[in-house]
Chain A
Amino acid sequence: MIYSVRHSTRYDYGSTVDLAAHLLHLRPRDLPGQRVLSAGITAVPAASRRRDALDHFGNHVTWLFLDQPHATFEVVGEAVVEVGFPAPPPAAATLPWERVAACARAGGPAAWQAAEFTFDSPMVPIEAAAGAYAAESFPRGRPVLEGLLELNTRIRREFAYRPGATSLATPVAEVLKRRQGVCQDFSHVMISALRALGLPARYVSGYIRTLTPPGQPRRRGADQSHAWVGCWLGPEHGWVDLDPTNNAVVRDEHLVVGWGRDYADVSPVSGVVLGGGAHGLTIGVDLEPLAVEAAG
C-alpha cells in the first residue's frame, strides 16, 4: 500500500510567545517493509533555526527554534510512504518465551539492542500487576508469539477504548486498574506487562489508515497519531508489531514514524516556549491510500 499522510499541529497562544523551541518526531523512518517516498516538514511562522538528525533509536528528529514574537504556530509533517510489512512467522514455530527473555538478558551481539527495551523507562515502570496480568497468556514453554497474540487480543477485549478517560499523566498502574484508556495507555500497559516477564517491548509511534475498505469496521485511533507495541521474538525473527487497540498485527494499515522505550521518547511534537500564557491546540491527521501495490 502507498499512503499519503498529513499531520498538522497548531498552537494558538493566549499571549505573544517571544522564544520557542520545538522537538519533532514527524518524519517516518525507512524500514524493511516501509519505504519513505517523500517527506517534508513545514512550519508557520518559519523557524529561525532548523536542525535534522537521527536520535539514539535511529528515528528522524527535527528541532525548530523561533526567536521572533508570534501568536500562533503551526507545523505540518507530510509524507508519502509505501508500506507492506511481512507476515510474522507461524506462532507455533517461535521460541519459547523464556528463551527469548534469557536471550535478551544475556545481551551480546544478537540481543543487545533488544535488551534496552526490557528495562523500566520514565513513563513505563515495570508493574508487577501488569506482569501478573500477562502471565496467564505465558504458561511455561509457550511459543512467544502465541502468548503475544493472546495478550494483544485480551487487551482489546478487556480494556474499554474511551478517549478522555485518561491523560498522559495517568500511570500504567491506574490504567491497569480502571481497564480503560486510549492507544498509548494500552501500549504502555502491554509494554509494562512484557517487560515484567523479561521480554523486550518497545513503543511504536505512527498512524493507522483513516478509512477502511467498505464493509470493514472503522479503525480506532485514526485521525490522530496512533501507537502500538513492537515485540521481540528472539534473534532469528526479530521484531513484530502488534496493535492492542485494534487487536491487529501490523501489516499494511499502519505507518511507522519511529519508536522508543515509551511515549516520551517519540512524542510527535513537544516544545518549550517563553511567554504564551494558556494555549489552544488543534491536531489533524489524515492517512489516505494513494494506490495499492503488491505488498511484499
Chain B
Amino acid sequence: MPDGAPLDEMVDGAGGFRPHWRPLLGALADLGRGVLAERALLIDRFFADEGVTSLLAPQDGTPATSWRCDPMPLILPAAEFATLEAGLAQRATLLEAVLQDVYGPQRLLAEGALPPALIHANPAFLRPCRAPEGRRDGPLLHLYAADLVRAPDGDWRVVADRTASPTGLAHVLENRRALSRHMPEFLRSRELRQLGPFFDIWQDALQDLAPGAPGGNPGVALLTTGHASPLWFEQVILSRELSCALVEGGDLTVRDGVLYLKTLRGLQRVDVLLRRQDGRTIDPLELESSMAHGIAGLLDAARGGAVKIVNDPGTGCAEAPGLAAFLPRLAPRLLGEALRLKGARTLWLGEAEARAEAEADLDAWLVRRAVDGTIHSLRPSSLEPESRAALLARIAAAPQDFALSEVLTPSVAPCVGAEGLVPRPVMLRLFLVFDGRGWRALPGGLVRVLDEARPGPTVTKDVWIPAEEDAAIQGPRGSGFAPLPIRRTSGELPSRVADNFFWLGRYLERLESAARLLRAGASRLSRASPTPRELAELRSLFACLVRAELLDAETAKAGAHGLGARALTRALLRAMCEGGPVAAQLGRVSHLAELLRDRLTGEMQLALHQGLRQLAAQIRPVPQAREETLGLERLEEASNAILSFAATVAGLAAENMVRGGGRLFLDLGRRVERAQAIAAEIARALDQPGAAAQPARLEPGLRLALELRDSVITYRSRYLTALQAGPVLDLVLADEGNPRGLAFQLAAARDMLVELDGDAESPLGLAAGQLLKDARAMVRDVATAAAQAEVALGLPPRLRAMEGAVAALSNRIARRYFTLLPAAHSLGPAAPGGRLRGAA
C-alpha cells in the first residue's frame, strides 16, 4: 500500500484555500503576523491557570502535563459532518447489535460469524454481564466515540472505536472556552454549531434511562476513577455539565438490590450510574476484587433493573481492534445494509486468508493486538531488525493474537508554529450519544496533532462545524419532571465530601496558626539579648511551637535559656521551608482543594489554586550563608503571605459559599481546630514556673496570649494598657463576640452541630455547649478571685483537659458523619482441597 501525499484540510490541490476556511482566514489576515504565537502562549497559560490536565498520556511515558490547544481550529463543512454523523450512528448501531448478541444468545459465535478468540479470549468480555436467556432492558452502549483520519482520497476512515468509556468531552468544552476567550476574532468570523445542546440531550437521555415511573426525579451519578486519575478533571466538568452527582465507589452501597449514595441525610437512591471507571473492577463480588473501587452487589442491582449502568460494564470488548475486520461483513447481516463510513482496512490473523494476504507484505501494515486496543500499534518496517524479527516470531506463534490495519496517511491541518502556520497530521475524535431513539453526534470534536517527532505534550485542536441557516434550535427539555422540593440544607452531600470540607477547614486553620506562631517567633528572635521577662515569654512561645510541631524540643530548651539564637532561626526557617511542616500543611490543603474541585465555585478554586502556587514559591529555602540576615525577614514575609491567603479564603467562603452543606463543614473544621489550638496555647502561656511567688511574672504570658489571639488592639481599646488576668482571659476564653477567642469557636460549633442534626438536643451540640460552659467557668473563677493571677496560674491543667475534650468532640463528629461503614474485604471462600483464599 503506497503512502500517498497527505490531503491538506485547508489548501486544495491547486494551491487555493478551500471555501469553508475563507472567513477564518480573513479574520487571521486582520490579526497580523506574530499575534498567533502570542495567543498560543495565552491559551497555554489559560489551561495552566485553570489546572486543566492532559488526558492523553504523552507517548514517551513522561508524566501527565497541562493541556494544549492550538489557536487554529479544524473546520468541517456542515454537509461533511452530517455524513460523518450518519456513518458513525450506523456504526454505533452495529456495535450495539454485536454487543447485544455477545452478551445474549451468542448466535454470531455459534454460527461462526465471529471468532471466539476475539470474544472469549478478550479480558474485557465480562461473563457476569451476560444474560444467556437474552432478557435485557435497554441498550448496552450509550456513549460512543470514534477516532478517524482522512486518507489522501479525501474520505475519513474509522481507525478506532471507543465503547468502554470514551474520554475527551470535557476537553472539547475547554478548547472551545479557550478559543472563545483568546481567539474572539476567529469566533466572530462565522456562526458555529454550539456544543451545549448536545449536553442537554445527553442529560435528558440519562434521566430517561432511569428505571421506574417517568416523571420522578431520577438520581443520576457519575462514578469517577478517583481524584488521582488523569481523567479526574474531565469527570468534574462532565458532572457539572450533566448536573449529576460525582461519586466514588466508596460513596455507594447496594441494599436489597438497590444502589444508594451515602449522604449526611442517609441513603439516597441512584437510578442511573454514568460509569467512567473500568467495567472490570466495578463489582468485587463478581468481577476482579479491587476493593478500593468496586461496589459489591452492583451487578445484581443492575440485573434486577433497579439501576441502569451506562455504558454497560462489558462494552469495552467492542474496542478489540480485530473486531474491525468483521464489521464490514456483520453490517449486512445485522443491519441489512453495507457500512456507510469505511474503517481502515483490517485483517485478523486468526483467519487463514488474512494470514496469506499478510505474508505477502507484512511491512505494509500496522500491527495491533487483536483484543487490546490500548496497546500502541507497530509498523514492522520501522523497527530495528531484531525487534522486527521478534515481532514476526510472536505473530507466527500466536497469529490469532494480532490484527493488521491499513497504513493511512492522515490529512494535515494548519497549526501555529514559531514561523507561522505549519501543516501537521491530525486525527479526529467524534462523540455520539444514544438519546433513546437514535444516535446524536456532538457538533464538534477533538483533534490530536500526530507529530511524534516533536517532543512535549500532544497539541489538540477545537473542531468547528459551521451552523446551517435553518438549524433547529435545541434547548434543554427542562420540563416533564415533577417540581423539585425546595431544600435549604445540603443533606445530600456525600459523607466523603463533608469529610474533605471538614479537614480542609482544619488544615487551613492549622496553616494560619502555624504562620502566626512563626511570625511571633521571628519578631522576637530579631531583638537583641532578651530580658528575663522576654525570656519568660519566649519559653511559652517555644512551648507552643513545639506543640505545633514547628520546633524540636531540644532547640526550644536551649532557646528558653537565651541560648542558640542561630539554631533557633535555622529551626524556624526549616519549619517554613520545603520539606518542613508548613510545606506539608500546604500540600494537605492543596490535596483537599483538588479533591473538592467539583464543589468549589470558580472564584474559590482560582483563589486556592493561585494562592497555593504563590505560597509554594515563597517558601523556597534561604541560602545557608544568608540565613541570619535574610532568614528572619523571609520568615515574616512568608508568615504574612500565609495569613493573608487564609484571610482571602475565609472571606471568599463567607461571601461565595451557600451556608449549609460544604461550607458548614468547612467552618466546623476551622472552629474545632481553632478551639483546640486556643486551649493548648493559653495553657502554655499561663504555665509560668516560679510565677506563683511573683504574680507579676504572669504578665508576659498574658501578653503572648493576646498576641497569638490577635486581640491586642481589642484589649487596649477596652482596658487601656494594664494587663490583668481576668480581663485578658475573658477576652480570649469567654467572650463569644471575639472571633479569635475560645467561646466564639465553641458557640459556633454548637450552633452548627445543632443545625446539622436538626435537633436542639443533638448530643454533639450538647457536648459543644458543655465545653462552652466549662470555658466560662474558668474565667469566672479567675475574675471573681481576690488574687486573679494566682487562680489563673492554676488553669493550665483545666485548659489541657479542654484541649483533649475538643479533640474528642472532633472524633465524635467524624464518627457521626463521615465513617458510615467499615471497609469492605473479600471473604475467604472454601477452596477445594481445604485451602483458604487470602483476603484480596
With an 8 A cutoff between CB atoms, is A58 at the interface? yes
Interface set, chain B 803-835, CB cutoff 8 A to A: 821-835
Task: Find out whether the CB atom of B296 lies under 8 angstroms from the CB atom of A272.
Answer: yes
With an 8 A cutoff between CB atoms, is B700 at the interface? no
Query: What residues on B are CB-neighbors of A54 within 8 Å?
Result: 132-133
Task: Find out whether the CB atom of A225 lies under 8 angstroms from the CB atom of B832.
Answer: yes
With an 8 A cutoff between CB atoms, is A169 at the interface? yes
Query: Which of B23-31, B251-259, B641-649 lines the interface with chain A?
Result: B251-259
Q: Which of B111, B286, B835 contacts A167 (CB 8 A)?
A: B835
**Consensus secondary structure, chain A interface:** mixed
CB closest chain-A residue, reference B299: A63
Query: What residues on A are CB-neighbors of B838 within 8 Å?
Result: 167-169
Q: Which of A119, A226, A268 contacts B121 (CB 8 A)?
A: A119
CB closest chain-A residue, reference B289: A272
Max chain A Cβ within 10 angstroms of own Cβ: one of B300, B400, B827: B827
Query: What residues on A are CB-neighbors of B109 within 8 Å?
Result: 107, 112
Query: What residues on B are CB-neighbors of A177 within 8 Å?
Result: none
With an 8 A cutoff between CB atoms, is B297 at the interface? yes
Chain B proximity mask over A108-127: 1 for CB below 8 Å, otherwise 0: 11001101100110000000
Interface set, chain B 231-261, CB cutoff 8 A to A: 253-257
With an 8 A cutoff between CB atoms, is A183 at the interface? yes
Given A168-B837, A169-B838, A115–B117 Cβ distance below 8 Å? yes
Q: How far is the CA of A18 from the CA of B820 in the complex (A)?
A: 11
With an 8 A cutoff between CB atoms, is A216 at the interface? no
Q: How far is the CB of B835 from chain A (nearest CB, A)?
A: 5
Task: Find out whether the CB atom of A48 lies under 8 angstroms from the CB atom of B256.
Answer: yes
Chain B proximity mask over A6-28: 1 for CB below 8 Å, otherwise 0: 00010100000011111100000
Task: Find out whether the CB atom of B833 lies under 8 angstroms from the CB atom of A51.
Answer: no
Q: Which of B285, B303, B833, B837 contacts A183 (CB 8 A)?
A: B833
With an 8 A cutoff between CB atoms, is A221 at the interface? yes
Task: Find out whether the CB atom of B285 lies under 8 angstroms from the CB atom of A56.
Answer: no
Query: What residues on B are CB-neighbors of A168 within 8 Å?
Result: 831, 835-838
Query: What residues on B are CB-neighbors of A113 within 8 Å?
Result: 110
CB closest chain-B residue, reference A13: B827
Q: How far is the CB of A113 from chain B (nearest CB, A)?
A: 8
Task: Find out whether the CB atom of B830 lies under 8 angstroms from the CB atom of A163.
Answer: no
Q: Which of A49, A55, A119, A221 contacts B120 (CB 8 A)?
A: A119
Given A49-B257, A169-B838, A283–B830 Cβ distance below 8 Å? yes
With an 8 A cutoff between CB atoms, is A279 at the interface? yes
Task: Find out whether the CB atom of A65 lies under 8 angstroms from the CB atom of B256.
Answer: yes
Q: Which of A67, A224, A227, A271 contacts B285 (CB 8 A)?
A: A271
Q: How far is the CA of A136 from the CA of B132 in the complex (A)?
A: 39
Chain A proximity mask over B285-298: 1 for CB below 8 Å, otherwise 0: 11001010000110
Given A115-B116, A116-B120, A265-B127, A221–B833 Cβ distance below 8 Å? yes
Chain B proximity mask over A236-275: 1 for CB below 8 Å, otherwise 0: 0000000000000000000000000001010111111111
With an 8 A cutoff between CB atoms, is A166 at the interface? yes
With an 8 A cutoff between CB atoms, is A152 at the interface? no
Query: What residues on A are CB-neighbors of B824 within 8 Å?
Result: 272-274
Query: What residues on A are CB-neighbors of B128 within 8 Å?
Result: 55-56
With an 8 A cutoff between CB atoms, is A182 at the interface? yes
Q: How far is the CA of A21 from the CA of B251 in the complex (A)?
A: 17
Q: Which of B127, B289, B296, B823 contacts A56 (CB 8 A)?
A: B127
Given A184-B831, A263-B831, A21–B297 Cβ distance below 8 Å? yes
With an 8 A cutoff between CB atoms, is B651 at the interface? no
Query: What residues on B are CB-neighbors of A164 within 8 Å?
Result: 835
Task: Find out whether the CB atom of B120 lies under 8 angstroms from the CB atom of A115.
Answer: yes
Q: Which of A11, A112, A267, A271 contacts B831 (CB 8 A)?
A: A267
Q: How far is the CB of B398 from chain A (nearest CB, A)?
A: 10
Given A55-B128, A182-B835, A23–B286 Cβ distance below 8 Å? yes
Q: How far is the CA of A156 from the CA of B425 in the complex (A)?
A: 62
Task: Find out whether the CB atom of A263 lies under 8 angstroms from the CB atom of B832.
Answer: yes
Q: Which of A67, A265, A267 contacts B829 (CB 8 A)?
A: A267
Chain A proximity mask over B123-156: 1 for CB below 8 Å, otherwise 0: 0000110101100000000000000000000000
Q: How far is the CA of A193 from the CA of B764 in the complex (A)?
A: 64
Q: How far is the CA of A281 from the CA of B257 in the complex (A)?
A: 27
Q: Which of A48, A163, A271 contacts B827 (CB 8 A)?
A: A271
Given A19-B821, A23-B285, A51-B300, A270–B829 Cβ distance below 8 Å? yes
Task: Find out whether the CB atom of B826 lies under 8 angstroms from the CB atom of A270.
Answer: yes
Task: Find out whether the CB atom of A274 lies under 8 angstroms from the CB atom of B112.
Answer: no
Interface set, chain B 94-120, CB cutoff 8 A to A: 106, 109-112, 115-117, 120
Q: How far is the CB of A50 from chain B (nearest CB, A)?
A: 10
Given A65-B257, A271-B826, A283–B112 Cβ distance below 8 Å? no
Max chain B Cβ within 10 angstroms of own Cβ: one of A55, A163, A167, A272: A272
Q: How far is the CB of A196 from chain B (nearest CB, A)?
A: 11
Task: Find out whether the CB atom of B827 lies under 8 angstroms from the CB atom of A11.
Answer: yes
Interface set, chain B 633-682, CB cutoff 8 A to A: none
Q: How far is the CA of A112 from the CA of B133 in the complex (A)?
A: 18
CB closest chain-A residue, reference B821: A274
With an 8 A cutoff between CB atoms, is A96 at the interface? no
Query: What residues on A are CB-neighbors of B255 within 8 Å?
Result: 19, 67
CB closest chain-A residue, reference B115: A107
Task: Find out whether the CB atom of B822 lies under 8 angstroms from the CB atom of A274.
Answer: yes
CB closest chain-B residue, reference A119: B121
Query: What residues on A are CB-neighbors of B296 within 8 Å?
Result: 19, 21, 272
With an 8 A cutoff between CB atoms, is A276 at the interface? yes
Interface set, chain A 146-182, CB cutoff 8 A to B: 163-164, 166-169, 181-182
Task: Find out whether the CB atom of A225 lies under 8 angstroms from the CB atom of B830.
Answer: yes
CB closest chain-A residue, reference B122: A119
Task: Find out whether the CB atom of B829 lies under 8 angstroms from the CB atom of A18.
Answer: no
Q: How far is the CB of B386 from chain A (nearest CB, A)?
A: 21
Q: How far is the CB of A91 from chain B (nearest CB, A)?
A: 27
Q: How far is the CB of B536 from chain A (nearest CB, A)?
A: 51
Task: Find out whether the CB atom of A281 lies under 8 angstroms from the CB atom of B828.
Answer: yes
With an 8 A cutoff between CB atoms, is B284 at the interface? yes
Query: What residues on B are CB-neighbors of A65 within 8 Å?
Result: 254, 256-257, 297, 300
Chain B proximity mask over A276-296: 1 for CB below 8 Å, otherwise 0: 100101010000000000000
CB closest chain-A residue, reference B103: A56
With an 8 A cutoff between CB atoms, is B4 at the interface? no
Q: How far is the CA of A263 from the CA of B832 in the complex (A)?
A: 9
With an 8 A cutoff between CB atoms, is A4 at the interface? no
Query: What residues on A are CB-neighbors of B825 within 8 Å?
Result: 272-273, 276
Task: Find out whether the CB atom of B834 lies under 8 angstroms from the CB atom of A108.
Answer: no
With an 8 A cutoff between CB atoms, is B763 at the interface? no
Interface set, chain A 21-65, CB cutoff 8 A to B: 21-23, 48-49, 51, 53-58, 63, 65
Task: Find out whether the CB atom of A112 lies under 8 angstroms from the CB atom of B116.
Answer: yes
Query: What residues on A are CB-neighbors of B821 within 8 Å?
Result: 18-19, 274-275
With an 8 A cutoff between CB atoms, is B304 at the interface? yes
Query: What residues on A are CB-neighbors of B254 within 8 Å?
Result: 21, 65
Given A49-B257, A56-B128, A63-B300, A272–B832 Cβ distance below 8 Å? no
Q: Which of A20, A107, A120 contacts B116 (CB 8 A)?
A: A107
CB closest chain-B residue, reference A260: B127
Q: How far is the CB of B241 from chain A (nearest CB, A)?
A: 33
Query: What residues on B are CB-neighbors of A51 within 8 Å?
Result: 257, 300, 303-304
Query: What residues on A are CB-neighbors of B284 within 8 Å?
Result: 272
Q: How far is the CA of A168 from the CA of B837 in the complex (A)?
A: 6
Query: What residues on B are CB-neighbors of A185 within 8 Å?
Result: 833
Q: How far is the CB of B179 from chain A (nearest CB, A)?
A: 46
Query: What residues on A are CB-neighbors of B132 within 8 Å?
Result: 54, 56, 58
Given A56-B128, A167-B836, A271–B304 Cβ distance below 8 Å? no
A-B contacts, 12 listed (Cβ < 8 Å): A9-B829, A49-B257, A56-B130, A112-B110, A163-B835, A164-B835, A181-B833, A182-B835, A185-B833, A268-B832, A272-B285, A272-B827
Given A19-B255, A275-B821, list of 17 further CB < 8 A pairs? Answer: A9-B829, A23-B285, A23-B286, A58-B132, A63-B297, A63-B300, A107-B112, A107-B117, A108-B112, A169-B838, A182-B835, A267-B829, A267-B837, A272-B827, A274-B823, A276-B827, A281-B828
